[in-house]
Amino acid sequence: MRLQKNGGKAVMPVLKETQPENREILLQASGIKRVFGRGDTAVTALSDIHLAVPRGSVVALKGRSGSGKTTLLNVLSTLDDPTEGSVQFEGREITGLSAKARNELRRRDIGLIFQAYGLVPLMSALENVEFGLRIAGSSKAGREDAEWALERVGMKDRMKHRPPELSGGEQQRVAIARAIVHKPKLLIADEPTAELDSRMGLQVIRLFRELVLSSGMTILLTTHDPGIMELVDHVIALEDGTIVSQTINASPLT
Ligand SMILES: Nc1ncnc2c1ncn2[C@@H]1O[C@H](COP(=O)(O)OP(=O)(O)OP(=O)(O)O)[C@@H](O)[C@H]1O
Ligand SMILES: [Mg+2]
């Protein structure tokens, strides 16, 4: 691996005006607020969130436990509705869509990796990934796509193994294969490196970069790992449910 560090970081107050090459915005959120519960016990998990994710970028959300990262990913991926605000995907409003339209959007255009991998223990790696295709409602025979996805994450030679026979890092890679098997435009990953050592975490981020380059994917992830901030295009920092900084890495380490 060759490390390059020619170009610095700059703190950018307005993300939209500072896009490298003015890249098209894939996902945009404005004025997001999310309040759980009512009255005395209400928790404001997010407020006044404005962000834009350019197509073909890797964006990291960082922040302490409880800062609102998972809540924000849920809102952005249409799994949850914001109390206020709007989310647009490819310029189309996606808040307030019917359950059917959301499912359709997630099946076609969004890949999700949850904080717990969610693999089915009794299925082999290959079957887990094929199952991902079936959940996505794909009518195509899935074997070839599932093998493609497992190849991308370096797990093709272990595809007959079941999750309990795999290490945490290997299971994580199978979960990534399952999330990319339908070739989504946007991959949303909640703490994809949390259970991994730093070398394995680096490999996952490198894999994400390859996916961006080879398949034109856009990736939004959350992380606690400071090492990862150097490797992504944008870092958005959350504190107590609000964005406190947005940073662009002019030349992320590769
Ligand atoms: N369903 C819910 N009902 C009530 N409060 C909730 C709910 N979901 C999340 N919260 C609260 O919202 C805040 C943000 O939670 P969230 O899970 O988004 O944090 P996080 O940044 O993902 O944390 P972690 O790094 O630990 O995963 C927390 O105070 C949490 O307790
Ligand atoms: Mg979380």
Q: Is residue 2 in a domain?
A: no
Distance 71 CA to ligand 1 centre (A): 6
Confidence bin at 138 (pLDDT 50/70/90): low
Pocket perturbation via mutation, ligand 1, pick of 38, 64, 69, 239 by most ligand atoms within 8 A of CB: 69
Residue 31 CA: distances (Å) to CA of 28, 70, 74, 86, 105: 10, 17, 15, 7, 22
Whole-number Å distance between alpha carbons of 140 and 106: 17
Is any atom of ligand 1 closer than 6 Å to the C-beta of 71?
A: yes
Distance 245 CA to ligand 1 centre (A): 20
Q: Is residue 254 in a domain?
A: no
Distance 33 CA to ligand 2 centre (A): 17
Q: What phi-psi label fits residue 31: left (phi over 0), alpha (psi between -120 and 50 degrees) or beta?
A: left
The per-residue pLDDT for 23 is 76
Q: Report which bound ligand comes closest to the CA of 66.
A: 1
Do residues 193 and 213 lie in contact, with contact meaning Cβ atoms separated by under 8 Å? no
Which of 2-6, 144-148, 222-226 shows the lowest mean pLDDT across its residues?
A: 2-6
Q: Is residue 3 in a domain?
A: no
The residues, ordered by sequence, that sit 6+ positions from 53 with a Cβ below 8 Å of its Cβ are 25, 26, 27, 28, 59, 186, 218, 220, 234
Distance 240 CA to ligand 1 centre (A): 10
User: How do residues 108-125 score in pLDDT, each as one tens digit?
Assistant: 999 998 876 788 889 999
Count how many domains the chain has. 1
Is any atom of ligand 1 closer than 6 Å to the C-beta of 70?
A: yes
Q: Is the confidence at residue 3, as pLDDT, over 70?
A: no
Three-state SS at 66: coil
Q: Is residue 83 in a domain?
A: yes
The residues, ordered by sequence, that sit 6+ positions from 213 with a Cβ below 8 Å of its Cβ are none
- Which residues span the domain enclosing 238? 9-249
Q: Is residue 127 in a domain?
A: yes
To which residue do tokens 């979960």 refer?
175
Mean pLDDT of the chain: 86
CA dihedral 248, 249, 251, 252 (to 10 degrees): -130
| Rounded mean pLDDT, 113-141 | 80
Three-state SS at 186: strand
User: How do residues 167-222 score in pLDDT, each as one tens digit?
Assistant: 888 898 899 999 999 889 999 999 988 877 788 788 888 889 988 998 889 999 99
Q: Is residue 4 in a domain?
A: no
| Rounded mean pLDDT, 75-86 | 96
Q: Is residue 230 in a domain?
A: yes
The secondary structure element, H or E, covering residue 170 is helix 168-180
The per-residue pLDDT for 100 is 93
CATH no. for residue 229?
Answer: 3.40.50.300
